[in-house]
Each structure stands twice: as structure tokens, then as C-alpha cells.
Structure 1
Amino acid sequence: MGRISTSDRVKERIKEWLKRLLAYVNDDLGLTDAEDKYFQDKVSVNYDNFRTLIVRSELEPLVKLLFPQDPKKDLPQLKETFRHDLRVLKSLGILEDNRDKRQGSSYWHFTIKLWHKSTEVNLEKFEQKWDESKGIDPKKLVDRPVLPTTLTSDITKIVPQRLISAQHNLPTRQHGTLIGRKQEITKLLELLSHHHNNTNLITIEGLGGVGKSALALEVAHRCLQASQNPELFPEIPSFEAIIFISAQSQCFMGSSFPRRLRSERNLGDIFRVINQTLNHFDRLPPTLEAQLDAIIDSLSRQSCLLTIDNLETLEQQDFVLGFLQEIPPNVKVVLTSRVKTGLGTIIGLDCLNAEESLELIEHQAQQKGIQLSHSDIQSIYPKTAGLPLSIVYTIGQIAVGGMVPDTIPTGFDRSNQDLAYYCFEDSFRQFRGQPAAQLLTAIALFPQPASLESLAYVALNTTEVTTTKLGLNQLFRRSLLEIQQERYTIHSLTRQYIRADYQDSSSNISDIQNRWVGWYLKLTQPCLALDWQEWQDYSFIDADWMNLRTVVEWCREQGRFADFRDFWQRLKGYTLFGGHWLERLDWLDWLIATAQQRQEPATVAEGMYHKSRTLAHLNETDPNGEAIALGKQAWQLSDSQNWQFQFDIAIYLATLHSRKQEFGLAQDWLERSQTLLQPPVEEEAYIRRWIQTRYCKAEIHWRTQNHAPAKDLYLEALAKAKEINWQLMISYIQGWMATLALADRDWQQAERLLKLVLEAAERHHDYRSLAYCQRYFALLEKQRQRASLACNWAESAQISFERLRMTQEAAEMRTLWENRN
């Protein structure tokens, strides 16, 4: 093989096509629809946690993508040029060739090392790497072995994402300019700077309404600006991830939840926000301890600013504080609290001084488009005592009423919340009984920002939004409303005041709560038409999950069994595939107990069946036999007229016994299921269950080493599954067939099938299936004696299994990659 060139011309050419490749994976290339379809079908380029870029493609379409306008060379020349450039990257240790057969192959599979999430940073690092290689004799720059890249915990997470300079979930600032607090801003930024290595926890303490959240959010946004444009803000600390968690928005109405559950909910919600902000698509593990390990691992991978706002509203704060003690040193934590905590370095906030208060009054007046005389401005300050929220409420009242209220008493004690509440109440009572008051009452029910349509329905019982917009505008002018990305929410103290007002009959809270429940029953109505045993697109639930969960649990707290049961029917598929294990088990316990009291055996049976499935997902070995015991109780309570439900229980119990190596019992339950499957029945229902019997029987043969009949049964089931387009079952069958091919050492067939399963698992976020794919890829590469790839897959599978609490499988994978030599 000939020498390779490392001229500046070659460097610039590689930079250009690298830039184009990154633009393609980020969907920033500006392709036409026809071009986009052509390349999507032929070129696969995906991120591996931004650490590497994974490319799979035939050579010709890849060259057409990366060299679109080069009139000087024809396609064969471009192909040769591209091969040369890949060899250069390999020689520099930037590229790893993953092809099985390299000589004469037109199919390419390689990974390119990345340094950062930013395209610009990656190109700069590439140049640095290139310049460092200038000291190497070009004659020695021939193809040389490159050590395989170490795969991260997210090796197979190849969902394309747009590159940004900092991952964040910061809400919009409600103020254009933060008045005052210059000293506090300077102090907080200084503490967040990375040379303050010993200061990783900062707490902002002060009265409600004094501006703690505003200060924390202002500084977080400044850090975001610095992260996006470090050359413009060199004095401000930058972070790779900035996470803002409002503890107030995570709280639930009522306190009847079990003590353990309340603490897990609080910490679990924090974990979910972190997971989502870091763009981790894998669901969190089922237990709090495993979630903690996963989150700490995620946070340790980048510099991070984590803000937890309204700490005092959390239940069981010791759980959260325990988490904070585990946070790695690369994470800076900012807390805000109305009560003294003594945690970390304290920044205490007091009311604004006279000068700052007058500036805020004038600024708020300008924002509301009102003119105040000098005497008006001077008179407002003593009545608001420099408390920012009181100033905001008061200016909002003036914006609507047109005159300075003269009923605000002076001399309020700054050590309590009386003044802010008085200012709120004085404004609120002026529009009681009006649509705006109903809207404010409704908004307080939503822990997360609410949509315009939901507020129109819940507050005003209408689908027409004109009146709703007018009412929301009135609230906004009164400074009682905040707008976040076309959704509506309120200040945490405003929410507290409104909930305290629920006892007032004039608020029509019962009607509003009924419509609140009705809105979410309506939102989830499409789920009833979805097959809960098939992969589905539940993104419309993801966007409103916290609000929806609050409604469901409020129904439970209020004893609204019928509504709760209706929600369960809609959400049983979403909670199973979405990994909401705590909610699922907790809800099912209440559903079963209440249905038993109401003497509804059908509901009890279904609850037991789904609880059994949840326990089996947590640990399919069912060490205590609890899952099997619940399944058998469900069978005994099941209605003989509902043959489909009885079939589901029987085939499920056959599978459980098979996995416990109890093949006699497995065969007994399989035969019961087949007895139930007697035509005439509805055609598709019959076909689906016929497929399941073949699938279960094949698994029994597989586990008893009878591979030939297992393969025949899988092929039969696969053909039928394709006839009715049952995507989940198609993928699962292909996975089992891959294991048979692996047992027969048919490596090409095993790899082909595993790739299909891998793509489907990633597309539908089925991480149990994904973990098994990683496992079998590791075993495949081990058989091929490709130790490096086998170890990479094994390490990735180990982490995936650990996150799913599948300890036996995780231990097997750990043994494989630790014993690679």
C-alpha cells in the first residue's frame, strides 16, 4: 500500500468533508427532499454519546455525500481520494476501521474520534492533532494498527442529535434586566468559577419573593452565554451542561402518599430532569439506588451547573441532601431556599435597598407601559418594603387599575410573608368571579406549565380561546402570570396563595378540578385504541407527564376510583415501556386493594397480572416466586368468558416457568393457552395469539438445546408477524433467531439479524432488547476472535444490564471483558 500525503491541501480537504459529515448527522446540510431520501436510505451516520461518529455505508453514496461539487475529478478518482483520506485519519489515531473484510470491499464501517459536542471544537482539535503529527516522518505514516476506542455506557445510542455548545433546560427569564443584586451576581459567578475547586455547593437563602430564583436563573443564563460564546465572556464560568430544577413544580397536592414514596418521587423527579437534560434517551433503572449510580455516572462526564430551586418545598430533604453529597467535583450546585439550611457557602438575600427598589419600580412601570410621577414612585417603596415580588404585584395592579393603591399598609415585618400575600390578595380580589380568576385557579393545578387549550377547557369549559387569551393577558398585565415557551405558569408563591384560596367557594374549584380530570382523560383517550403490547409513539404524553401524573394521583387521593381506573387503562402501556416502575407498582397496589373492597374481581385480576409483569421486568428470574404467584391468582380470578385475557395469563406463566427452567410447568401452561385458542375467533386476535404460542414453544426448545425445531417455529411465527406488521414481535423473533445463528456459528446471519434488532430497539427506546443485542454482539465478536470489539460490546452490555438491574447478565458480561486476555 502506497504512502499517504499529509500536505496542507490534504488537511483542508479532510476538514471540509469532516465538516460536511458533522453537518449531515446534525441535519444541517440543507439537502433537498430527494437528496435527503437518497442518503438516508444509503448512508448511516450516528453519534456515540458525542465521543465517536459511527459511519456505515457503501463507498459510492458516501463519496457523493461528502464531495458533492468537485468538477475536476470523476467518481473513481474521488473514491480513491476518499480511501486515502481515511488512511490518513487512521494513521493519526482518529479513525478505526470496523469492516470484516477490507480488501476490495465497497462497504465501509468505521468510527471517527470526537473531542467535543461542538463542530468547531472538533475541527480545531483535528488541526491540533494534525500539527502534532508533523514531527513524524511521512515515510512512516502507513496503515498501522489503532487501538479500539473504549465504548461508553451509551455505545449503541445512535439517535442523531443537533450539536449545541451546552446542554441545558433553562426556562426563559421573566425579566429583561435583573435590577440590583450586582454584588450577589459577582459573588455567585466567582464561586462558580472553576478555580474555586473547594466550593461546589452554594445556597441562596431569603424570604419568599425576595428574588432567589431570579438571581439563580440570571447567573445560569450568563453561564449559558459564556458556554456558547466563550471568547465574548472569558470572565464568566462556562459549563458543558446547565440544569435547572424547580422543586416547587415537582410537588404534589396533598400529603397522603406513603413516606417512602414521597421521598423517592422527589429524588426520582430530579433524576429524570437531569437525565432528560443530558439527552439520555435510556430510561432510568427501577430502583432509587441504581438511579443514583446512573445519574452520578452521567454527571461525571462533563462540567455541569445544577440548580435546585425552592429546596424547602421538597419532602424528605435528607434524601436529596444525600444525593448532593455524592455529586462529583466537576458539578457546581446552587440551591435556593426560604429557610436557613446551613448548606455550603451561603449567599443571603434581603429586600432591595431604597435606590434599587426605586429602580425596580420604574423599570416595572416601563415594562407595563405606564407612567408614574416621581411622587408615585417615591410612595410605592415604603409600602412594598423593597420586597421585589410585592413591587411586581403592586405595579401589575397599577397597570390595570390606573392609580397607586393607597390601601397597602406600611410597617410590615420583613421576617414574614404577610406583605407579599397582602399585595397579591389586594390584586386578586379585584377580579374574583371573572374568567381571569378562574384561569389563575386552574393554572395552580398544573405543576408544569399548561397549554392554552388545556386552560381554556379546565378554567372556562370551552374550546374557544379568545376569552382565554384575554384573561391570560389580564393576568400577565397584573404580573400574576409567567409565559414559558407558549405555555403558562405562575410564581411559586402565587401558586401557594391560590391553593390556600381553594377553600373559598367562589373559586368554583370543584368544577375546575372535574374539568382538569376530564381534560387529561380526553388527552389520553387515543391510548385506548393503541395496543399496549406493541411499540407506540407516546411523545404526546411525555410532554405533559408531570401534569398527568399529578392528576392521576389526585384521583387516587380523592378516592375517585372510576377515573383512576380509566387513567390506568390508558397508561398501562406507556408506564410499562416508559420505565415508570415506581408509579406503576404504587398505582397497581391501590387499584388491586380498592377493587377488592368494591368486589370487582375482573379489575383485581387485571391488576395482579400487570403487577406480575412489572415484577418480572424488574427481575425476570423471579427469585421469590412473587410474579408467578400473582399470575396464578390473576388466572383464578379471570373471567372464563374473556378468553383473550386468560390466554395472555397462560402464555405469560408458560414463559415465566420456562425462564426458571421449570419446563414441565411451562408446557402445562402452554397447553392451556393452546386449548383457549380455538377458532372461530376474530382473525387478527387469533393470529397474534397463534404467533405467541409458536414463540413460547420455540423458546422452550431453545432453552432445552433443541435448535432445529426452535428455528422452524420462529420462522413460522416471523412470517405471520410480518403479515400483520407486529413490529415488536418481529424484532423479538429476529433476536432469538440471531442467537440460533450464533449457536450454529453462522456469523453473517447473526450479525444481519442483530443489526435489524439493534436499529428497532434504538428507534423505539426498548432498552431491554438493546441490552441483549449488545450481549450477543459481544458473543459474536468473541467467536470471531476479535477481542477488542468483543470487549467493547461486553462492557457496554454490562452497563446496560446493570441499569436494568439484571445482575446475572451483567456479571456474565463483566467476566467476558475483564478476561479479554
Structure 2
Amino acid sequence: MNTVDSAELIRFANQQVLAKTAKPLNDVQERILEQVLIDRPRLLDIQVHGYSETTVQRVFCPKLWKLLSEVFGQEVRLNTVRLVLEKAYKISRQSIHPGSQPLLPGTPAAAPAPTAAPPSTRQIPHNLPASSCTAFIGREEELARLLELLSPQHAAPIISVDGIGGVGKTTLVVEAAYRCLQASCSDASASTVPTFDAIIFTSAKEFRLMPFGLLKSLAPRRTLNDIFRQITYVIEELDLAGVAFAEQLDLIRMTLARYRTLLIVDNLETVKDQQEVLAFLYELPPTVKAVITTREQIIFVPVRLTSMPESDGLSLIQHEAQTKGVSLSLTDQMQLYQATGGIPVAISYAVGQLANGTPLREIVQKIGQSDGDVARFCFESSVQPLKHQPAYRLLLALALFPAPALQEALVQVAVPELEADQAEPDLAKLRGLSLVRQEHDRYSMLPLTREYALAELKVNPDFAQQARERWITYYLQHSETYAQQDPSDWQGSTFVELEAEWQNLQAVMECCIEAERYEDCLQLWQNLKTYTQLRGRHISRLDCWTDRLIWTAWLIQAAEQRGDWSVVAQMMVDRAWTLIGLGKPAQLSEAEDLLTQVWHLRQHQDRAFQANLAKIIAVLYVQQQRFEDAQTWLEQASLLVEQAGLSEPDHQRQVLQIQYYQGEIWFKTGDYDQSKQLFEAALRTARELNWVRVVFMIENWIADIAIEQGNLEVAQTLLVEGLQVAEANQDRTRIAYYQHSLAKLARSQANYSEAIRWATEAQHSFEALGMLPEAEESQNLLQTLLAS
């Protein structure tokens, strides 16, 4: 089969994309196609000058494949690009003969001869401003939504595009308008882009943010008469000179009724007579589509803009940097994205400042200043009228919450004199100005808005101090409910609410540490200690236990400085238990040093603490495979338990745990009968106490013993049931242990493919949980299976 020249395929692809979208391939897309069609590289080899490999591979290529898939009606991927293009190209060549098929699925039939007249072009009157960017990046879903709303098939006569200042509302609308203009001029019947007979643009924007600062608009159109003048400028046949206002309205309606018109009112919030303008828009004939851009959320059919996602934000940064001749490392790009919060105008401003020679660090500081150019452009006109109102305090207080805040918490911190429902009108103001977002009963803000509000807090120190006090008090009280929970049992939905607040709780603890609020830190740790352990069980020990290590280190030091030795002992034990769970040799060594110190401090604690300490030392030695030492410490723990004066349930729990670890020692030293005897005794107690998770932990060990003793049916029953229960409770740690045991069971059953599957799953599960010693054990089992 003869292949088609690559350059011809690119030209053909460009034609089809233009016909379908009214917009040709851009330079980046053509460069990717050139490499794919000519060099036939791997994805990793595709490069575009000025963009990182990651951006090309993860952003540009997927978007190009998606575009081509939509245009050609079948899935396009790296290895199918040429095949799809050649097939479509040959179909299009055949279509010049009578009776040919349509050019492409979903497109009209081609002309009967290659000499057919080109598509007609016409002049569409418009007054669109020049695009503010050299390439439109991101916002694809929002653009598609806007174009859909502009189509005659959608009934919405007025469409609002809203979001905070600088988020890209005008850029989006102008891009959509130019696409409509191109489709209208080309009269492309195959295009899905709406067409119009006239496009009218009017803007009340007072300032533009440029790299050198704020630039005042020369002639903002802020009145209804200004809009009328723009309409007559575009629709030349319309003459309103010397005509009374009421008659002007009639003439405009009658004239626009003969034209499919797109009317854009930019920056509605700075229009002087908003109600008159809105009334005018409502009374326009159905031939007119009106688009409003505004920082205020108005009850129209909305297209809502927030900050750009990371991939699009980085693409915009790279494009701006290339355009302005600025070289940025990936680290610099990420720092710039985080500083700007993904707000396009802030990105353009920052890169422009870099091009002018301003250091990146200084730019990042400027962006976060409440009196800086970015803040003034994005927020000043919205926030200034709110000062001395509860809405202003709500805005500033919300900045204290890094994660979405419950309305109850926000109101209590910001305006404690109000009930939560009494603050609703002020929250509605903030929502209406796009300064905050609401999802269910929680409130959040964009990163750049938060930086502005934090800067405002600094210039309101009295309110900031009072709000922080209330913020800390709220979370101390809120988390108190979760103290004294048992980390060894399933908690069901007990901690779901706490997870939603986790980032806020972290921020409170960090604030208390920074302010050296020892009592508050200690109380918060007691409230959260169990939950921090459970997070490691459900998510990852490596990721989630970093907080435990940081917080316990600070509390140990702070308690030592105050001579609070009972707290020193408790914090050392908590830290050591965390290190034992992480399990690396260096961490086990540090745990041993800590536990040795605690043993010398044991007189500052009661017998129950000492019994638990002896048990934890034994667990450490089991981890280090020092089994004789572990047995000695378990015997010491047994003596201390009997001396502790515990209640019967607590006594039973302590005895059970000692039996559990003794059973583990006997299993690991090969005495399965002794191990089974101890585990069965522990199992009876666990069932009596209704300690459900521990019941299944023990049964897992009994199943492992059954495997070693050849009782495979018993093991099968226990493991299958245990895995189902662990999955029902979403206990990822227990699931991983069951997977490992099922791999050993399948090996004993000579079902090696099943054993390999379970061992692989166990290794992946342990690695994801940060349980590295267990992951290594599963890996060793897997290697043994693969070698057999």
C-alpha cells in the first residue's frame, strides 16, 4: 500500500480540523504531528522547543489525540495517527468522483470535482478587540460550554461568565467570539461553531493589569448609552441621532430582530446603571445572544471560572515564558504556579515582571501583598465596599482554614456574636462576588484570594489575634470527641468528619507549635493521636506518620524544658511506637534508645503505663528478631499487669495482647503447637470482649499456622472470610496481610499462578501503605515463587 507524504497528511489534517472547529492546528500541534508522521518516535522522544517533556507528553499530546479523534470520528493514538489520517485522506480523494462516500463520518459530501468553487466568504460587522493572548491555552470545557450556550439550539438569551478578577473571563469570551466570527465569515456549514450576522463588544473595564502595573482604560463603556453607541457603530444602518430614548430602544430592537447578533457586555460590575442594562438585555429580540462577564454571580445561565488546573497553568506559564524570552526551570514554573494560584492575569503579570528583570522571589512576594498590583486588580473593587461589615471578617477568617471550613466553624471564628444562619446574607455577598465558594455546608477560596485575605489579616492584627484564638479553641473542642478511641479496632465512620478537617487540624497544631502553646499542643495531640495512627493504616504510614514524628519530637523537647517528665515518658513511647511501625533498622534503633530512656523514667508513670511500656519493648525486639529478649519483656509485662489494679475488661485486654505477641514469637521460632495454643486462648478473650478486629487478626495467625501444619481447608475458610470482612471495613492493612497469607496458601496447594497473583498484590499493598519490611517479605515470597 502506497503511503501518503507526511507533509500532505499534515496539510489535510489541518483542513479537517479547521472545517470542524473553525480553528486550525496550532504550531505545537503541527510540530508534534511532524515528528509522529516523519520520525515515528516513542512518546518519550517527542519534543517541542520551549516546553518541558512532561508538558508535551501529559498535556499537548493527549489533547491533540482527543482533537483528532473528534474530527475523524475514531480513536487516535500515537501508534494510529498515520493509519487514521491516510485512511481519511484516501476516502477524501475518492470523493471527487460521482457516487462517492462522504468525506469523513459526520461531514457533508465533497464537491463532485476538485475545481468546485471555494466556500463563500462574507464580511461580518464587528468591533471585537484584539485578543490579549497569542494563544488560547486551557479552558477547553468552559469554551465548549460557552459555544454550546451560544448556539441557536440553546434557549438561553443571556449568558454570564463569572469569576474573580483576572481569572480569564474576557479572554474566554473574546476567544469564543472570534471562533464564531471565523465560522460566520467562512459560512462553513460543517462547523459546529455558532454563526452570527453581527458581533458587538462593549467593555466597562476601568483598568488592565500589565507587567509594569495597572493601566487605566481610556474610554470604559459604563452606561446604557455607551452600549447603544457601540451597537450603532457596528450596525451602520442604525441611526439614533436626535431620537428620543424610548424610540432608540424600539429602533434597536427592530433592527437587531433582522440580525443574528452576539452582544458582549464586559465587566458588568463596573457599569453605572446595571439595572437599566439588564432590563435592556432582557427585552432584546430572540435573534440576540447576550454574554455578560462579571465578578458577581448573577442568576443567568452561568459559565463559572476558577483558577486554572496545574497542567493548564504550567502550559500557560511555559507559553508566556517562551513568548517573552524568559527561561524557567520546572521548579521555577511550579513556584510561579503556586504563587499565582493558577490565575491567568497573575501568571502573565509575573512572567512579564521576570522579563523586565525582577527576581522571582521578589515577584512572589509582590503577588501576595494586599496593596500590590495583582491584589488591587483582582480584589480591591470587590473587597473595599465590604470593610466594616461581617462579610469582610468572614473573608479574612476563612483564610485561616487551608481546607474548606464548615459554616458553623467559620462563623464562630469570624463573627461569634452571630448564629450560623444569621451570617448567611454576608456569606451570600461573598459568594456573589466570587470571593468564596460553597459546597454543601463548607466554604473555601481560591489560593490567590487566600493570599490576599492573609495579607489583609496582617494589617488587621487585633482581629487576626482574636480570630486565631477562636480558631484554635474551636478545633480543640471539636477534636476532643475523638480522644481515647481504640486504634486497634475498626472505627467505622467515626473519623470521616475528622478526615474532612484534617488539613485544618494540621494548621492549628503548626500554629500552636510556632507560638509555643505547649498545653494546647499536648491537648490536641491527645485528641488526635489515635486518628493519626489510623490514617497510616488506611492511607500510608510513610505519608501520614510524618506528622506524628514532627509533633512528638516537639512535645518531647517542650516537656523536657518544663520538667514535665510524665509527658516526656508518654511522648517518647508514642514516638517509639511510630518508629517501630515504620520498621527500618535506623528507626528501630532510635525506638530502642527512646524506650530505654523511658524505662528509666517509669517512676513518673503508673503500673499500667509500665506494663504497656514493657509490652512495646517486647514488640520492638520481635521486629528485630530478638525473640528471647522479647519473651523476657513480655513476662515483665505480665507481672506489671497483675500489679496495675486494672478493671476486669482492661486486665483481659492486656493479657490478650501479651498472649498475642507470645503466639507470634512461637510462630516465628517454629513451635506451631505452642503458638496455636496461645492464639486460641487470645481468641476466646477477644470474642468475649467483642474486640472484632482483633478477632480477625488472631484468626489470620491461626490460618497461617494451619497452612504450616497442612490444614489447608481450615486456612482457606478463615482467610476468605477474613479478607471479605477486611474489605467491607476498608482496612487496607488487614487486606494486605490476608493477601500475603493467601499467597502462602496457594503455594501449599501447588497453585503457583494464584500464589504469584496474591504475592504480587500483597507486595503492592504493603508498598502503598509504607509497610516496607512487610513489602520486602512479600517480595521475597514472590521471587521464590517465580524461581520455582
Normalised by the size of structure 2, how large is the TM-score? 0.54
RMSD of the alignment, in Å? 4.5
Q: Distance in 2 between matches of 1:550 and 1:339?
A: 34
What corresponds to 2:505 in structure 1? 548
Q: What does residue 496 of structure 1 align with?
A: 451
Q: Distance in 2 between matches of 1:551 and 1:463?
A: 23
Structure 2 CA distance for partners of 1:517 and 1:339, relative to 1, 3 Å: farther
Instruction: State whether structure 2 residue 735 is matched by structure 1 residue 770.
Output: yes
Give the whole-Å Cα distance in 1 for the aligned partners of 2:659 and 2:219.
Answer: 80
2:697 corresponds to: 732
Q: Unaligned stretches of 5+ in structure 1?
A: 1-178, 193-207, 220-232, 237-337, 341-349, 378-387, 397-411
Would you say 1:723 and 2:688 are equivalent positions? yes
Pair 1:814–1:439, CA change in 2 (3 A)? same
Match of 1:616 among 580, 584, 593: 580
Q: Distance in 2 between matches of 1:214 and 1:670?
A: 72
Counterpart for residue 138 of structure 1: none
Indicate the structure whose relative CO is greater, using CA pairs within 8 Å and at least 6 residues apart. 1
Q: How many residues align?
A: 480
Whether the aligned pair in 2 keeps the contact of 1:209 and 1:493 (CA below 8 Å) is: no
Aligned to 2:759: 794
**Other structure's SS at 1:433 match:** coil
Q: Is 1:371 equivalent to 2:275 in the alignment? A: yes
Q: 1:816: which partner in 2?
A: 784
Work out the CA distance in 2 between the residues paired with 1:553 and 1:750.
Answer: 47
> Within 1, Cα distance between the matches of 2:218 and 2:674?
83
Secondary structure of the 1:678 match is helix
Q: 1:394 Cα deviation (Å)?
A: 13
Residue 361 of structure 1 contacts residue 395 of structure 1 at CA under 8 Å; is this kept in 2?
no
Give 1:513 shift.
Answer: 0.7
Q: 1:418 aligns with which of 373, 376, 393?
A: 373
Q: Equivalent residue of 1:508, what SS?
A: helix
2:435 equivalent in structure 1:
480
Cα deviation, residue 578, structure 1 = 0.8
Q: Is the 8 A contact 1:797 1:813 kept in 2?
A: no
Q: Is the 8 A contact 2:641 2:651 kept in 1?
A: yes
Listed as ranges, the matches of 1:287-302 within 5 Å are none
Q: Which amino acid aligns with 2:509?
A: V
Listed as ranges, the gaps of 5+ residues in structure 2 are: 1-128, 143-163, 176-189, 194-209, 228-262, 282-291, 300-348, 354-365, 367-371, 537-543
Return the alpha-carbon distance in structure 2 between the equivalents of residues 675 and 185 of structure 1.
76
Q: 1:498 to 1:365 in 2, by over 3 A?
A: closer
Tell me the CA shift for residue 742 of structure 1.
0.7
Paired letter, 2:439: Q
Among candidates 295, 299, 307, match of residue 392 of structure 1: 295
* Residue 782 of structure 1: aligned partner: 747
CA distance 1:351–1:800, shift in 2 (3 Å): farther
Distance of aligned partners of 1:461 and 1:180 in 2 relative to their CA distance in 1, 3 Å threshold: farther
The answer (yes or no) to whether the contact 1:368–1:477 under 8 Å persists in 2 is: no
CA–CA distance in structure 2, aligned partners of residues 212 and 619 of structure 1:
50
After TM superposition, give the deviation of residue 761 of structure 1 in Å: 3.1
Distance 1:796 1:218 in 2: 52
- 1:572 matched to 2:529? The reply is yes
Residues 608 and 213 (structure 1 numbering): CA distance in 2 closer, same or farther, change over 3 Å?
farther
Distance in 2, matches of 1:368 and 1:433, equals 24
Q: How does 1:92-107 map to 2 (within 5 A)?
A: none
Q: Secondary structure of 1:488's partner?
A: strand
Amino acid across the alignment from 1:515:
R
TM superposition shift of 1:362: 5.0
TM-score normalised according to structure 1 size = 0.52
Match for 2:450: what amino acid? R
Letter in 2 for 1:210: G
Per-residue CA distance 1:274-321 (angstroms, 9 max, x = gap): xxxxxxxxxxxxxxxxxxxxxxxxxxxxxxxxxxxxxxxxxxxxxxxx
Aligned in 2, Cα 1:701/1:481: closer, same or farther, shift over 3 Å? closer
**Mapping for residues 441-480 of structure 1, pairs under 5 Å:** 441-461=396-416, 464-480=419-435
**Which residue of the other structure, out of 759, 764, 768, is the alignment partner of 2:724?**
759
| Paired-residue identity, % | 30
The within-5 A match list for 1:40-189 is 188=138
Do the aligned partners of 2:375 and 2:452 also contact (CA within 8 Å) in 1?
Answer: no
In structure 2, do the counterparts of structure 1 residues 211 and 641 end up closer, same or farther at CA, with 3 Å as the change threshold? closer
Q: Within 5 Å, which residues of 2 pair with 1:193-592?
A: 209-211=165-167, 362=266, 364-365=268-269, 370-371=274-275, 392=295, 417-418=372-373, 420-421=375-376, 424-425=379-380, 427-461=382-416, 464-505=419-460, 508-536=463-491, 537-579=494-536, 580-592=544-556
Counterpart-to-counterpart distance in 1, 2:601 and 2:481:
29
Residue 671 of structure 1, CA deviation: 1.5
Contact 1:795 1:813 in 2 (8 A): no
Q: Could you say what secondary structure the match of 1:625 adopts?
A: helix
Q: Which amino acid aligns with 1:723?
A: E
Change (3 A) 1:816 1:767: farther
In the alignment, which residue of structure 1 is the partner of 2:230? none
Does the CA-based 8 Å contact 1:365-1:371 persist in structure 2? Answer: no
For the pair shown, which has the larger CA radius of gyration, 1 or 2? 2
- Alpha carbons 2:484, 2:530 under 8 Å: kept: no
* Alignment check: 8 A CA contact 2:401 2:504 kept: yes
Query: CA distance change for structure 1 residues 212 and 656 in 2, over 3 Å: closer, same or farther?
Result: farther
SS of the residue corresponding to residue 535 of structure 1 reads coil
How much does 1:369 deviate?
A: 11
Q: Which AA in structure 2 matches 1:556?
A: I
- Is the CA contact 2:489–2:691 (under 8 Å) kept in the aligned structure 1? yes
Q: Which of 764-773 and 361-370 deviates more?
A: 361-370
Matched residue, 1:656? 620
1:186 Cα deviation from its structure 2 partner? 5.9
Could you tell me how far 1:466 is from its partner in structure 2? Answer: 2.4
Pick closer, same or farther for the CA change 1:514–1:609 going to 2, 3 Å: same
- Given residue 371 of structure 1, which amino acid in structure 2 is its aligned partner? Q
Aligned residue in 2 for 1:744: 709
Between the aligned partners of 1:746 and 1:217, the Cα distance in structure 2 is: 72
Change (3 A) 1:744 1:356: farther
Partners in 1 of 2:174 and 2:758 — Cα distance? 43
